[in-house]
Chains A and B, each alone.
Chain A
Amino acid sequence: MSKPTHTSRYRIRTADPLEEYLRNLTRRRFFGSMASTMGAGLGATALSTLLDTPAAAAPITTDDTAHLLKNLSHYAPRAKRVIYMHMEGAPSQIDLYDHKPGLLDKYNEDLPDSIRNGQRITTMTSGQSRFPVAPSRFAFHRAANNEGGVMLSELLPHTAAMAHEICFIRSMHTDAINHEPGITFFQTGSEQAGRPSFGAWMSYGLGSANEDLPTFVVMITQGYGNMQALSARFWDSGFLPSEHQGCKLRAGKDTVLYLRNPDGVSRDDRRAMLDLASTINQDEYERSGDAETMARIAQHEMAYRMQMSVPELTDISDEPEHVLNMYGPDVRKPGTFSANCLQARRLAERGVRFIQLYMRGWDAHGNLPSEIRKQCGAVDQGQAALLKDLKQRGMLEDTLVLWAGEFGRTVYCQGALTKTNYGRDHHPRCFSLWVAGGGIKPGISYGQTDDYSYNIVKDPVSVHDLHATLLHNLGFDHTKLSYRHQGRDYRLTDVHGRVVRDILA
C-alpha cells in the first residue's frame, strides 16, 4: 500500500554527499531557502565539492534552483579536509619562529615607548613599572625551504626538517588579549560565544565522506606548562544543527563517548537488539509514513558500524614499525600529541573532514624557557611526522594543516628577568603560525614584524583573513558560506576577511 509520505524535517547523514544534498533539500528546508532566497544552502556545497565542478553546471534548470545554486561559492577546491593543531595558551613566536637576533644586545633594556605605542596590555603586567626586553635564550638555525631558507628555533628540529613544506606566517594579529575570547575567536570567528566553530562550518559545508565516522573530530593533549581552560564551546555547532558538533575522540577506554557496549553485551548481542529495534522502527514507519523514522534506522546502522570502525581506527597495531618510529616513542602512549597526530592521519585517510588537535600548556607567564622546551619536545616530532606521513601518502596536497595559538607573547619580560629565565605576557599585535598542504605555497615565509616582534611592519594577516584563505582553498567563497539565524546570514568570517592570495600555491 502506498501511504502518503511526509518528508524528514531533519538532516540525515548519508554516505553519498550528492544523495545527501538531494535529501536535504526537503520541502521545508527548500521553502526556507526560497522564501529568504539566501542561496548558500548546505549540502549544495558538498555537492560542488564532490563533483569538482561548479554546481551551477549541474543539470537543474528550474529557475529558482539555478538561482539557488548560482549564488554558491565555487572555486575548484584545493583541499578536502583540515587538520588544525591548536596550541592552547599561545606559544611564544619570539622563541620559536620570529627570529630577532638584535634583541640579544638589548637584554634588559626598556621596550621603547615608540614601539609599545600605548597599546592595551593585560592587567597581569599593566602594573609593571618597566618592560625589560627578554631576548630568546634559544638558538635559531637556518632550515632549508623553497626560498633562501628560514630561521627556526633549536626547539623544533623535526619541524625544521619539514620547512620546505610549510608556509610560516609571521604577521598574524588578533583582537583578543585573553585566552577565552582569543580561542573562541580563532575557533568561531567571533570573541563571543554562540557561533559555530570552524569544524562545524566544515561539517555543514563539506558534508561527510565516511558514513562510519563523524565529520568533525576533536582530540586533546594535556600539556606540561601552564594550562588554560578549554570548553565545549570551542567545538560546538553554535546555531548550526548539533550534528555538526565536534565529536571528541579520547584516549582511554571511552574513545568516543558511549561507543562501547556495556559489559556482558557482545557485538552479536547488539546486532540482535538492533534488529529488533529496526523491526519496531519499520513497524512505526509503516504506520506513520514518517521518513524520519527510516532515517533513524539508517543512523542506528551507522552507529553499529561506528562501534567497529572506531576501534579499528584507534588500533594502531597495523602501522608498520618505521611509521611509528617516525612519530617517536610517545606515539604508543594514547592521548599524547604524537599519538594524536598519528590518529589525525588515520582519520584523514578515512575521510574525516575536520580534525582538531588541542595541545594545552603554552601559557608561559613565568619560567618560559623550561616550559616551552617541554611543550616543543611533546609536539615537534609528532607534527613533523604527520606532515611527512601525509606527504608520503600523497595526502598533503589536499589536506590543509594549520598550527596556531590564539595570540602571541610579549617581547618584554613578565616577572623576574635573567639571561636564562623569563616569562612573557599575552600579545595580540603580532604572532606566528604555520600552514601546510592543501594548496598553500610550500616552503615560504610571509609577513614581517619589527625588531622587537611587537608590531607588524609588512603584510598583516587577521584571523578573519586566515579563515577566508583556508575556506578559499576548501572551495568556498567565505562571503557566501553562510547560515541564516535570527534573520541574518552568518559567516565564519562575520563581515570581514580577505583571501591572502600571496600564500596560495
Chain B
Amino acid sequence: MTNARGNLPLLTAFIGAAVVPAQGADEIRFGRDIRPILSDRCFLCHGPDREQQQAGLRLDSFTDATAERRNGYALIAGDLDASLLWHRINALDLDDVMPPLDSGKPQLSDHEKDLIRRWIEQGGAYEDHWAFEPLTSPEPPTVDDPWIRNDIDRFVLQRLQHEGLLPNADADAATLARRTYLDVTGLPPTTAELDVFLSDTEPGAYERLIDRLLTEEPYVTRHAERMAVPWMDLARYADTSGIHMDAGRTIWPYRDWVLNALRDNMPYDQFVIEQLAGDLLPERTNEQMVASGFNRCHVTTDEGGAINDEALFEYAVERTNTLGTVFLGLTVNCAQCHDHKFDPVSQDDYYALLAFFNNNEEPGLYRQAPDPYRALEPNYTIKTQADAARMAELEAHVTALTAERDKPDPDEAEAMATFEQSLQDDGWNWTTPAVITAVSSSGSTLEIQADGSVLATSPAPTNDDYTIVLGTERTDLRAIVLDVLQHTSLPHGRVGRGSNGNAIMSGISAEIVSHADPTQRTDINLIWAWADHEQPNEDFRVVNALTPNNGRMWALNAHVLPDDRVAMFLADEDFGYEGGSDLIITMNFHSIYAGHSLGNVRFHVSSASEDALATLPTAHTNWYIVGPFQPEGRDQNAYDVAFGPEEAPLDFAKTYEDQKWRYAPGVIEGQNVRLAETTGAEYVAREFFAPTQQSVDLSLGSDDGIQVYLNGALVHENRVNRGVAPDQDRLTIELQPGRNTYVTKIVNTGGPGGIYYSEAVPEDELAPDMLAWVLPEPSVTDAFADRARAAWRTSHSPRYLELTEGITAAQGDIDTLNTSLPITMVMQERSEVRPSYVMMRGAYDAPDMERKVARGVPGVLGHIVSEGTPTRTDLARWLVGDENPLTARVTVNRFWAQLFGQGLVDTVEDFGLQGTWPSHPELLDWLAVNFRDNGWNVRDTMRTMLLSSTYRQTSNGNADQDATLYARFPRQRLSAEQIRDQALHVSGLLIEHFGGPSVKPYQPEGLWREVAMPSSNTRIFEQGMGDALWRRSVYTYWKRASPPPAMLTLDAPTREYCSAQRINTNTPLQALVLWNDVQFVEAARATAARVLLETPEEQRLVDLYRRCTGATPSVGLQHAMADTLAKFETRYSGDPEAAAALCGVGDAPIPEGMNTDQLAAWTMLANAVLSSDAAIVKD
C-alpha cells in the first residue's frame, strides 16, 4: 500500500499536465467545449426527447434556451448574472443544484464551470453540431515547411505548430516498408521485397512502392483481403445463424463480392448502393443481387418457441441500427424505444428509417435444415449465362426423355394388367366393415359418415385415443387398411386435427370379440406396417405405431404434403370368429404436439395368402446409435465386453452407462458412414418387421471390427483392423415373422470409426409403391396408382428402365449443376409495402396506430427525393448524395483509423453529440470532400494518406503522448488476422487462393460440442484438410456461438452485431495463443525449416529475425539469439524424441532429410521472435 500511495503524486502531476482540453486560452467553441457538457449532464431532461423534458426547457436549441421563462431566462447571451443556467449549476441549495443530486449525473467540475462562464461571457453562441453541417472544402493551411509532402501534412503541421510541437522525421526505410506492406496488404514484406526497396535509392522509391502495392498483383488481391476484414466486422459477417441451433448457412458469396469490389476499387458510392439495394437496381446483375446480402448477415433465430413477428421486427431493427453505425456514424438504435436523448433523432425518425427494412420476403423464424450450407431464404442461385444455357439444355433433355418414356405402350399395358391381376388372385379380398361405434377418450365428437368413415367434428384435445368398433362376419382376416382422408372441416382442409393440419399416431392396436360368445376375445398381434408416406425430418416411421407407448410414432407430414394417406397393418395369424365378430381398433394420439390426431378415418379388412404375404416388403425402423463405450480394464477388449445393447430384448428407450440411443439419420444405406473417433464399441441398430419368415442378404463394412446380433444372438463377427468400405463382409440373416432386432457392434481401435450396410432386395418382393395393387380400390388415389405403374414399369420394362435411368442421369446433372452453383442469402422486397408504425417502448407487438410513419431519413439530415414511396435504392442514393454530410466523413475517418489506429474522430462509431470532437476537423472535411468529389475513390484516398509525411514519421515517443496530434506515428499491435496471416506468410505456408467457401483451420477439440444443441448441424467441428489450414484469416469459418478462439483472444469481435472498432487488449491468454496454438507452432517450425534450407549458416540468425520483423537485429540481440539457439541445440540433440514431437506439430510436412534436432531448436527460436513485439507490433 505504501508503495502504491507513493505513486499518487505522479497521478496528480498527470492531471495537472493533462486537463487542458480547450486549445488556446481564449477561444471557446460551443460545439467542442460546451455542448459535450450540456449533452452529457443536461440533455437527459432538457434535450430532444419530448417525453422526458422537464420544466419545458430545452437546452439543445438556442431559441428555447434564450426564451423568456416564468422566473427569468435560462440563458442571456453575454450576461452571466442574468442566466439561470449559471446559477443553477452553482447553486448551494441541494434542492436547486443542477444536475439534480439524484439524477445519477455528476456535478460540473470547476473547469467545466469555467468553460460555461467564459462561453456565456463571450456571447453564449450556439453552433449546429459539426457532423450535421454540410460538407465544404476547407482550404489547406498555407503553412510552409520542407516536411510537408501533401495537404494532409499542412493541416497536421499547422496544429502542431499551434501546440508548439514538431513532427518526427521519416521512419527508416525498412520500418516504413513493413508498416506500408502491413497496412496495404495485411502481410509483411518478404526479405527479398524488402531488399528491393532498400536498394532503390533513387528519389521517389516510396512513391513507386505505393504504386506497386496499389496497382499490381499479387498486392491488389492482398489489399482486398486486408480491407475486407474491417468491413466484415461492420457487416457482422459470419457463417452460422447465431441463435439456438446456430445453424450453418451460406452467405460467403457476399463476402466474395466485397473482396471483388475492393480488388476492383469499386467507387464507394456504388459499393454502398449495391449492398443496401443491389436487389432493387434496374437490370441488376448477379453480383448486385449477391451484394444485397449485406442486409442479411445479421443473426437469425430458429428457436422453437419464438414468435415470427418478433423475429421479423428484430431483423428490421438490426438492419436499421447497422445502417446507422456504418453509414451515418449515429446511434440511431437509441431511438427504438424513445426519442434519442442526445441526438436529434426522434422515435418517428427511427421508424421512418426502419420502414425501409421491414419489408423483406422472409419467414422470420427459420427451421434448421440438416444441410449446414443452406442459404436461408430469400436466397439466390448465382447462375451465369452459360450455366443458364446448360440448365435449359438439360431440362429440355429431361422433358424429351420423359415424354418418350411415358408414351402409352399397349403391350406393356397388357403385361401390367396381368401382373396386377395375379396379385389380386393371391388371396387379397377386401371388405369395408360397418362402423358400429366410435368413441374418443378425451371427449371428441366422432361422427360416423355415410361413406363408412369416422369424422372428428369437435376441436382437438391435446391428446386423444379413438376406439372404433367394426362389425364383420369374416373369419379369414389377416390385414387391416387405414384410409386417412382429407376433409374440408379440418384445419386447412388436410387430414390432421393439428392447427397446421398435420397428424401423429403414436400407437395402434386391435382386438377381436366374438358376437356369439362375447367372452371369447383375442388381442390381435400386429406384426408389420406400411404407409404410403412418412414424415422425413425425424424418426416418424409407421412401424413405430405398432408398439404404443414406445415414445416413437408415425407422423403424416400433412402440414407439408396434403393429400390422403393410407397405411396397412398385418396380423401374425388369421382372425375372425364364426358367427361374426366385433373388430375393436384403438388408435393413440399421444405426443408433445398438441391436437395432432387424425380427422377422418376408414378401415378395410382382408385375408391374405402365404404367397401374398411373401411378396410384401420387409419393414423396418430407422437406425439408432449408442456409444461409444470403453472397456474399463486394460486387458479387456471391446469385442468381449457386453455393454448391454447386444442383449434381447432391444429397447431404444434404454440407457447404458448413462448413454442413450440416438436417432441416427446419418446412417445411410449403401454409403460409408463415419462414426465416433473414440476407441471402443459403438452400436448401430434397428428393428425389422417381416410379414412372414424370410431371409435377407446383407453386404457389410466396418471400421474397425464388427459383430452382428440378431434377436440377441451373435450371428456374425470379424475381428479386424481396417477402414470402412462396401462389401467387406457378406451375411444372410433369417428373419422370423414380425419383429426382429438387428444390432451391429462396431469396435474401433483407432482413428474414426465407420460402418457400411446395404441389403439386397429379393426379386419377388414388391416395390413399396406397387402395394397400390393389393390395396382396396377406395384406398388408392390416382397419383398413387401412377406411382405403382411407374414402379412396375421400372422393374419389368427394360425400355422404361433405360429411359428412366437416362432421366435420372440428366436430373443428376441438373442437381450437380445446381449444387455447383453458389447460392447465397439476399434481399427480396415484398410486393406490398408493409406499413410501419412507431412501436411503443420499442416492442414488436405494440404499434402506436396513431403514429403511422412513411419511409424517410431523420429530418435533421434532410430528406429523400423520390417518385412515390422511397425505396431502399433511394435511401442508398441519398446516403451517398450531396445532401448527406455523414457518409463521407464517417468513411474517411475509418480509413484513417485503419492506418493510424485511431480516428480523427476518436469515436469511430459515433458522430453524434456524444461523440468526440474531431482532433482535426478541417482535415477530416478536406479528406471527405476529396473522397466524394473524386468519384469516391477508395484507393486514391488511401494513397494520399500513405504518401503524407504524417504517415511516414517514426513512432518514437515525444511530447505527443497519445499521438493524437500526429507528431509521431502511433505504434499499434497488429490485428488478430494480421498476426496469423503474417505467421503463415513468413513461414511460406500461406495458401493464396482468392474467395470461396469458408475454411476450418486448427482449433482445440470439442469447443463446438460443448455449447451446441445436440441436434445442431454445427455441433461437430470438422477440421479442414491441406490448403484449408493455411488460407488467409478472412476465409476462416465463423461460428457465432463459438468463434475461432485464437481470433477472439486477439480481440476480434464475435460478429453478432455491427462493430466499427476493435479495442486492443494485452493479456496473458494472447501469449499462450502465440506460443501454443498449433497454427503458430507449425508456422514457427516451417519458418525455421525455410531458414535452414535457404540461408547460409552464418546468416541464419539475422535472416530469421528479418523475415519475422523486417528489421536487422542488434549485435546484442544476435548474441542472445545465438546463446538461446545453442541451449536448444544441446537440449534437443540430447532428446531426439522431444525434438521429433515438437516438429510433428501441425499437418505441414517436414522437408525431406531435415535433421529434426536442429529444426526443433530453430523452431523455438522462431516461436520466440514471432511472439515478440518486434513481430506483432506495427512500428
Shortest Cβ gap from A46 to chain B (Å): 12
- Give the docked Cα–Cα distance between A247 and B1049 (Å): 10
Q: 0/1 per residue, B709-744, Cβ < 8 Å to A? A: 000000000000000000000000000000000000
A480 near B104 with CB under 8 A, answer yes
Q: Is the CB of A488 within 8 A of B1177?
A: no
Task: Report the bound CA distance from A228 to B306 in whole Å.
Answer: 14
Nearest-Cβ distance from residue B761 to partner chain A, whole angstroms? 37
0 or 1 for each of B1116-1140: is its CB under 8 Å from A? (1 = yes):
1100110010011001000001111
What A residues does B460 contact at CB under 8 A?
Answer: 129
**Distance (Å) between the CB of A179 and the closest chain B CB?**
6
- A67, A124, A243, A260: the one within 8 Å of B107 (CB): A67
The answer to whether A258 touches B1064 (Cβ under 8 A) is no
A1-46 with Cβ < 8 A to chain B: 3-13, 16, 18-19, 22, 25, 27-28, 30-31, 34-39
Whether A276 contacts B1142 by the Cβ 8 Å rule is no
- B462 & A124 in contact (Cβ 8 Å cutoff): no
| Cβ-defined contact, B912 with A479, below 8 A | no
Whether the pair A22, B10 counts as a contact (CB closer than 8 A) is yes
| 346-393 of chain A: CB within 8 A of chain B | 365-366
Asked if residues B1142 and A263 are in contact (CB atoms below 8 Å), the reply is: yes
Taking CB atoms and an 8 Å cut-off, the chain A residues in 236-295 that contact chain B are 236, 241-243, 245, 247-248, 250, 252, 254, 256-266, 268-270, 272-277, 279-281, 283-285, 288-290, 292-293, 295
Nearest CB in chain A to that of B40: its residue: A36
Query: Do A299 and B1071 form a contact, CB below 8 Å, given A263-B1141, A264-B1139, A276-B1165?
Result: yes
CA distance A193 to B1055 in the complex (A): 10
* Closest Cβ neighbor of A66 among chain B residues: B109
Q: Tell me if B1127 and A59 are in contact (CB < 8 A).
A: no
Inter-chain contact A280/B1, CB cutoff 8 Å: no
Contacts of B519 in A (CB 8 A): none
* B243 contact set on A, CB distance < 8 A: 180, 229
A179, A264, A276, A307 — most chain B CB neighbours (10 Å): A264
User: Which residues does chain A contribute within 8 Å of B1171, judged by CB atoms?
Assistant: 277, 300
- Whether the Cβ atoms of A19 and B1011 lie closer than 8 Å is no
Q: Which residues of B contact A214 (CB under 8 A)?
A: 1069
* Per-residue A-contact encoding for B458-489, CB less than 8 Å = 1, 0 else: 01111100000000000000000000000000
The reply to whether B1066 and A295 contact each other, CB–CB distance below 8 Å, is yes
Which of B183-191, B446-454, B588-596 lies on the face that meets chain A? B588-596
**Residue contact A487 to B11, C-beta cutoff 8 Å:** no
State whether A257 and B1043 are in contact (beta carbons under 8 Å apart), knowing that A4-B957, A241-B1063 are contacts in the complex.
no
In this assembly, does B146 line the interface, its C-beta being within 8 Å of a C-beta of chain A? no
Q: Please give the distance in Å from B674's CB to the nearest CB on chain A.
A: 22
- Are B305 and A123 neighbours in the complex by a CB distance under 8 Å? yes
8 Å CB contact of A227 from B12, B36, B1013, B1064: B1013
Contact B18 A269 (CB under 8 A): no
CA–CA, A124 to B1171, complex, Å? 52
B1011 contacts A229, C-beta separation under 8 Å: yes
Chain A nearest CB: distance from B276 CB in Å? 21
Q: A64-B19, A257-B1072, A284-B1174 are in contact. Are A487 and B342 (CB under 8 A)?
A: yes
Across the interface, do A31 and B21 meet the contact criterion of CB distance under 8 Å? yes
Among residues 1037 to 1051 in chain B, which have CB atoms less than 8 Å away from a CB atom of chain A?
A: 1040-1043, 1045-1046, 1048-1049, 1051
Q: Do the beta carbons of B4 and A18 come within 8 Å of each other? A: yes
Which residues from chain B contact A18 at a C-beta distance below 8 Å? 1, 4
Question: Among A5, A129, A261, A365, which residue has its beta carbon within 8 angstroms of that of B592?
Answer: A365
| Separation of A474 and B804 alpha carbons in the complex (Å) | 74
Query: Please, which residues of chain B bring their CB within 8 A of the CB of A62?
Result: 12, 15-16
Contacts of B1010 in A (CB 8 A): 220, 222, 230, 248, 250
Contact A128 B595 (CB under 8 A): yes
Bound complex: CA A312 to CA B526 (Å):
62
Are A299 and B1070 within 8 A (Cβ)? yes
B1004 close to A290 (CB less than 8 A): no
A21 nearest CB neighbor, chain B only: B4
Asked if A37 and B106 sit within 8 Å, CB to CB, the answer is: yes
Chain B residues contacting A290 (CB-CB under 8 Å) are 955, 957, 971, 1173, 1177
B residues 1073-1099 near A (Cβ < 8 Å) are 1073, 1075-1078, 1081
> Does B145 lie at the interface of the complex (its beta carbon under 8 Å from any beta carbon of A)?
no
Whether a CB of chain B sits under 8 angstroms from the CB of A105 is no
Q: Please measure, in the bound complex, the distance between the C-alpha atom of A164 and the C-alpha atom of B1151, giving whole angstroms.
A: 67
Contacts of B1069 in A (CB 8 A): 214, 247, 256-258, 303
Contact status B1138-A266, CB under 8 Å: yes
B1140 to chain A, nearest CB (A): 7
Fill in one digit per residue for A46-61: 1 if any B CB lies within 8 Å of its CB, else 0.
0000000000001111
A-B pairs with CB below 8 Å: how many?
Answer: 383
B112 close to A (CB within 8 Å): yes
Whether the pair B11, A60 counts as a contact (CB closer than 8 A) is: yes
Query: Considering only CB atoms, which chain B residue lies closest to A285 in the complex?
Result: B1173
Contact yes or no, A277 B245, CB < 8 A: no
User: Are A123 and B245 in contact, CB atoms less than 8 angstroms apart?
Assistant: no
Q: Which of B245, B914, B1063 has the most CB of A within 10 A?
A: B1063
Q: Which B residues from 810 to 826 make CB contacts under 8 A with A?
A: none
- CB of A303 within 8 A of CB of B1071, answer yes
Give the docked Cα–Cα distance between A28 and B1064 (Å): 14
- Whether A426 is near chain B, meaning CB under 8 Å from some CB there, is yes
How many angstroms from the CA of A300 to the CA of B1074 in the assembled complex?
Answer: 10
Please state if B18 and A306 are interface contacts (CB–CB under 8 Å).
Answer: no
Chain B residue nearest to A40 (CB atoms) is B106
A410 vs B590: C-alpha distance when bound (angstroms): 19
Query: B301-338: contact bitstring with A at CB < 8 Å (1 yes, 0 no)?
Result: 10111110000001000000000000000010110000
Residues in B neighbouring A122, C-beta threshold 8 A: 304-305
| Residues on A with beta carbons closer than 8 Å to the beta carbon of B916 | 35
Q: Which residues of A lie under 8 Å from residue B303 when comparing CB positions? A: 178-180
- What is the bound-complex CA distance between A478 and B483, given in angstroms? 65
Question: Cβ of B301 and Cβ of A180 under 8 Å apart?
Answer: yes
Tell me the nearest residue of chain B to A426, going by C-beta.
B305
Contact A65 B907 (CB under 8 A): no
Taking a contact as CB atoms under 8 Å apart, the answer to whether B594 and A127 are in contact is: yes
**Nearest Cβ on chain A to B477's Cβ, whole angstroms:** 31
Q: In the complex, what distance in Å separates the CA atom of A480 from the CA atom of B103?
A: 11
**Contact A128/B594 with A6-B961, A123-B305, A123-B307 known, Cβ cut-off 8 Å:** yes
| Cβ A296 vs Cβ B1173 within 8 A | yes
| The residue from B1, B108, B331, B1045 contacting A257, defined by CB atoms under 8 A apart | B1045
Within 8 A of B (CB), among A460-485: 479-480
Q: Are A127 and B1004 in contact (CB under 8 A)?
A: no
* Contact assessment for A264 and B1160 in the assembled complex, using a CB-CB cutoff below 8 Å: yes
Residues 110-153 (chain A) with a chain B CB within 8 angstroms: 122-125, 127-130, 132
Report if A70 contacts B (CB, 8 A). Answer: yes
Q: CB distance B1142 to A130 under 8 Å?
A: no
B residues 1005-1045 touching A (CB-CB < 8 Å) = 1005-1006, 1010-1014, 1016, 1040-1043, 1045
Contact between A283 and B955, CB atoms less than 8 A apart = no
> Is B973 among interface residues, defined by CB-CB distance under 8 A?
yes
Residues of A within 8 A of B914 (CB): 36, 486-488
Those 4 A-B pairs whose CB atoms lie nearest each other, nearest first: A487-B914, A122-B305, A264-B1142, A264-B1141
Chain A residues with a Cβ under 8 A of chain B: 3-13, 16, 18-19, 22, 25, 27-28, 30-31, 34-39, 58-65, 67, 70-71, 122-125, 127-130, 132, 177-180, 192-194, 214, 220, 222, 224, 227-233, 236, 241-243, 245, 247-248, 250, 252, 254, 256-266, 268-270, 272-277, 279-281, 283-285, 288-290, 292-293, 295-296, 299-300, 302-304, 306-307, 365-366, 413-417, 423, 425-426, 479-480, 486-488
User: What are 23 A-B interface contacts by the 8 Å CB criterion?
Assistant: A4-B957, A7-B961, A31-B18, A37-B37, A62-B12, A67-B107, A122-B304, A127-B595, A222-B1010, A230-B1010, A230-B1012, A232-B1042, A241-B1063, A252-B1006, A257-B1004, A262-B1142, A272-B1164, A283-B1114, A295-B1066, A296-B1071, A300-B1171, A303-B1068, A416-B590
Additional A-B contact list (5), CB under 8 Å, known A264-B1137, A264-B1139 = A6-B962, A13-B1068, A193-B1056, A273-B1165, A289-B957
